[in-house]
Amino acid sequence: MESFSIVMVVLIALVVFTVFKGVRIVPQGYKWVVQRLGKYSQTLEPGLNLIIPYVDDVAYKVTTKDIVLDIPSQEVITRDNVVIIANAVAYINIVRPDKAVYGIEDYEYGIRNLVQTSLRSIIGEMDLDNALSSREEIKTKLKHAISEDIADWGITLKTVEIQDINPSDTMQASMEEQAAAERLRRATVTRADGQKQAAILEADGRLEASRRDAEAQVVLAKGSEESIRLITAAMGDEEMPIVYLLGEQYIKSIRQLAESDNSKMVVLPADILSTVKGMVGDKLKL
Residue 268 has pLDDT above 60, yes or no: no
pLDDT tier for residue 2 given thresholds of 50, 70 and 90? low
| Terminal-residue alpha carbon distance, the chain | 177
Which fold does the domain 67-173 belong to in CATH?
Tetrahydropterin Synthase; Chain A (3.30.479)
The pLDDT assigned to 285 comes to: 43
Residue 279 pLDDT > 70, yes or no?
no
Cα separation of 46 and 29, whole Å?
Answer: 7
- Average pLDDT of span 79-84: 85
CA distance 246 to 244: 6
Cross-sheet strand order for the sheet of 39-44? 39-44, 30-36, 56-63
For residues 128 and 237, the model is more confident at 128
CB contact at 8 A, 90 and 113: no
- Is residue 266 exposed (0-12), middle (13-18) or buried (19+ Cβ within 10 Å)? exposed
- Top-ranked range on mean pLDDT: pick from 26-40, 185-199, 204-218, 230-244: 26-40
The residue ranking higher by pLDDT, 62 or 255, is 62
Q: Is the dihedral of CA 103, 92, 148, 130 positive or negative?
A: negative
Per-residue pLDDT, averaged over 146-156, amounts to: 90
Across the range 160-173, mean pLDDT stands at 76
CA–CA distance, 76 with 125 (Å, rounded to integer): 11
Distance CA 162, CA 120 (A): 12
The dihedral built from the CA positions of residue 164, 167, 173 and 177, taken in this order, carries a sign that is negative
pLDDT of residue 16: 79
pLDDT at 130 over 50: yes
